[in-house]
Structure 1
């Protein structure tokens, strides 16, 4: 019942975990508001959502479009209870093979997209004294691997932003959460790894989008501040924090399969 009637804005909602999480939230009685660049894809996703929902074509790299979209949402629904910053993409390539513009583009979507959407809701949440911001980061933001330099940097930025903002808003009634998943079997890899070699190499570790979406809904429902996925990864992260350089050497072959 905690999610009943909650207005939840989800970026990157046209496919993958964004789409599935929107559908699951709708089944829990929430009011999911779907954002993505493609309105046609959003309509396909919305077909699986029961009850009330909204959808808006919005490019998170466009400041004016983000401001207009969120203003429209506030005008129609009156509030935003939860913001799920899920929009993002990756590209796996050697540092020397990537142009500076590719670093800029990825940072613009993954990090600055999160910043823009969060800026659009925080003043309203502060006025109400409540709300939750959930940022989908990545295990890559905690452990760097070869051929993911640009992507890792964006997710490291998202985690730093999330952790600092949590402290800033802790006494204001706003929960700031991070979800840090490992590999997920979604369309993400069509861009990140067109060859399919990395996806095959981590097939045994790959999580289903359904599993990750269920965990995200649980995090929202419980008001948790952070979740590492899969569960055993949390233990690895703690050990990495204690012995980072030793862990780099011991896990090199396993972690660098791109």
Structure 2
């Protein structure tokens, strides 16, 4: 990185730190940031996977090795990036993977590893980069959740649990940092062509025959959907950038017709249930 590019106060445009940036949403968001004239720190497990991408964008893409389940490495990377660039304007917690399995099928290790990846890692990285945003009075944290962060269904209980946790943390975070000019955006995609359902990205718990009727269809449908999903990652990335640039950035942004329909349906059902039981709910205070 040359000092001319960095300038007196760091690089021109925004500095993005994006985890899981080698493919899917992470890569699409990196490309959208570059198109906006910004600089991208691409945090991935294997930086060599981004060698060609970095070479195509000299001095504007900096791959860095990061396993977000390693707290010590998170601290190191945050310090290294701030030392080199002076700031991080946008943090995108995107690294993740899928897991299919009934709750009874999901092992303790599977659940803890997924929680480390989707919750504890993003929480640690957010804590590491938030002080410099707060001091500068600007910045944004983008939490890549899922429509499964709003509701759940058979076979994805563990996955949804991690996203529910991330959303709960982020909802409080948004209220805490708003006075400092820092934005929080929770992104809730539906089915997009990201590779999420293919290759080694989608893990499956050892099946129990009793759950074949409820979880079996999910085991079959998710892998078979790979490459056929309706969502366009490039359009999703553009929507995320537009939401961040808006005067009133939403707390939650659903992406895709499937996510929008499902979330609205879930909200309607939740309201109907709350109203149906309202008299019982209101009848539990002391007289």
Larger radius of gyration: 2
Q: How does 1:19-34 map to 2 (within 5 A)?
A: 19-34=27-42
User: CA distance change for structure 1 residues 64 and 214 in 2, over 3 Å: closer, same or farther?
Assistant: same
Partners of 2:192 and 2:233 within 8 A in 1: yes
Q: CA deviation at 1:208?
A: 2.3
Correspondence for 1:37:
45
Distance 2:265 2:15 in 1: 38
The answer on 1:93 being equivalent to 2:104 is no
Residues 1:230 and 2:256 are matched in the alignment: yes
Equivalent of residue 208 in structure 1, options 232, 237, 253 = 232
Counterpart residue number, 1:62: 70
3-state DSSP of counterpart to 1:97: coil
Counterpart residue number, 1:219: 243
SS at match of 2:155: coil
Higher mean C-alpha displacement, 222-231 vs 54-63? 222-231
- Counterpart residue number, 2:193: 185
Residues 23-59 of structure 1: CA deviation (Å, up to 9, x unaligned): 2211210011100111111324324546522221011
Aligned Cα root-mean-square deviation (Å): 2.5
Q: CA deviation at 1:99?
A: 0.9
Secondary structure of the equivalent of 1:73?
helix
Quick one: structure 1 residues 165 and 245, their matched pair in 2 at CA, closer, same or farther if it must change by over 3 Å? Answer: closer
Gap change, CA 1:222 and 1:201, over 3 Å in 2: same
Q: How many residues align?
A: 245
Helix, strand or coil for the counterpart of 2:131?
helix
- 8 Å Cα contact 1:23-1:48 kept in structure 2: no
Of 216-225 and 177-186, deviating more is: 216-225
TM-score (norm 1): 0.86
- The separation in 1 between residues aligned to 2:54 and 2:243, in whole angstroms, is 22
- Pick the aligned partner of 2:116 from 101, 105, 108: 108
Paired residue for 1:241? 267
User: Where in structure 2 are there 5+ consecutive unaligned residues?
Assistant: 1-11, 205-218, 274-287
Q: So what's the TM-score if we normalise by structure 2? A: 0.78
2:144 match: 136
In structure 2, the CA distance between the partners of 1:28 and 1:203, relative to structure 1 (3 Å rule), is closer
1:81 is aligned to 89
Judging changes above 3 Å, is the alpha-carbon distance between structure 1 residues 23 and 123 closer, same or farther for their aligned structure 2 residues?
Answer: same
* Preserved contact between residue 8 and residue 81 of structure 1 (Cα < 8 Å): yes
1:15 equivalent in structure 2: 23
- Cα distance, 1:129 vs. partner? 1.2
Structure 1 residues 98 and 44: alpha-carbon distance in aligned structure 2, compared to 1, 3 A threshold: farther
Relative distance call for 1:202 and 1:53 in structure 2 (3 A) is: closer
